[in-house]
Homo-oligomer: A and B are copies of this chain.
Amino acid sequence: MAQEKIRDSRTRDIGSYSFKEFKDMVVKFHGYPAAGVLIGGYMVEAAKERMPEGAQFEVIVETRKCLPDAVQLLTSCTVGNNWMRVVNLGRYALAMYEKYSGQGVRVAIDSERLKEWSHIRAWLLKLLPKHLQDSERLLDEIEKAGDSILSIADVCVRSDHLGKLSMGKIDICPVCREAYPQKDGSICKGCQGDAPYIDSVVANPMMQKCMGEKPV
């Protein structure tokens, strides 16, 4: 499994998009032209190029920051269809792999190659507070560097990360009266106390009744 250093390519397009076109897509979807999504565009395309033709692939992203949106913009893999999953290892990397065998490639930023690109290096290693970053020069470096700052390696995804997510049988929670996976227990996880709300009885009519309040 030899790791390949990606050499300069002739253009700095991102797949079939120019850098400018992709930047506009990023602004529309992500809210602003985030450096991470732009570099991510080159990462996703580097992975796609290495997939066998017609392969049904899925993606694991190793960070929650920015990179998932590059995947969602440039592939059919999304968080909602579960063809993209985040396994948060805090590394700026992704794996794209054939969905049944798990065979694929992992693309990462090669920190050794960032010596020539001081703004990208400062962004990745958070060497400057955000308000001192020179966004224009950072984006300029990203476009110039393209995929030359990436490294790529063959990987095989573990079988416990392959296949469909199944919720199993569905029941109605006797507390909140909402549908939930039976395997979570006799009441749903929200009513077990995992709901992220200050007053979690809000969605919990029976408990509100117990407390003498109006059911909601």
Count, chain A residues at interface, CB 8 A: 80
Contact A2:B89 (CB < 8 A) given known A30-B81, A31-B81, A80-B70? no
A162 nearest CB neighbor, chain B only:
B196
Q: Are A3 and B81 neighbours in the complex by a CB distance under 8 Å? A: no
Determine if B102 and A198 form an interchain contact, defined as CB atoms under 8 angstroms apart.
yes
This chain's copy number in the assembly:
2
A207 adjacent to chain B (CB < 8 Å): no
CB contact between A202 and one of B72, B90, B155 (< 8 Å): that residue: B155
Q: CB-CB contacts of A156-171 with B at 8 A, as 1s and 0s?
A: 1110110001010110
Partner of A79, one of B36, B86, B102: B86
Q: Does A48 contact B (CB under 8 A)?
A: no
Rounded to whole angstroms, the CA-CA distance of A95 and B93 in the bound complex is: 30
Interface residues of A (CB under 8 A from B): 1-3, 29-31, 34, 36-37, 60, 62, 64-70, 72, 76, 78-83, 86-93, 95, 102, 106, 108-109, 111-112, 124-126, 153-158, 160-161, 165, 167, 169-170, 172-173, 176-181, 184, 188-190, 194-199, 202-203, 205, 214-216
Top-10 shortest CB links A-B = A69-B80, A3-B216, A68-B80, A89-B189, A156-B198, A89-B190, A90-B181, A161-B196, A155-B197, A79-B79
- List 27 contacting pairs A-B, 8 Å CB cutoff, sorted by A: A29-B78, A31-B78, A64-B80, A64-B82, A64-B165, A65-B82, A66-B80, A68-B80, A69-B78, A69-B81, A87-B194, A89-B188, A89-B189, A89-B194, A90-B184, A91-B173, A91-B179, A91-B189, A93-B203, A106-B203, A111-B177, A124-B170, A125-B172, A126-B170, A154-B202, A155-B198, A156-B198
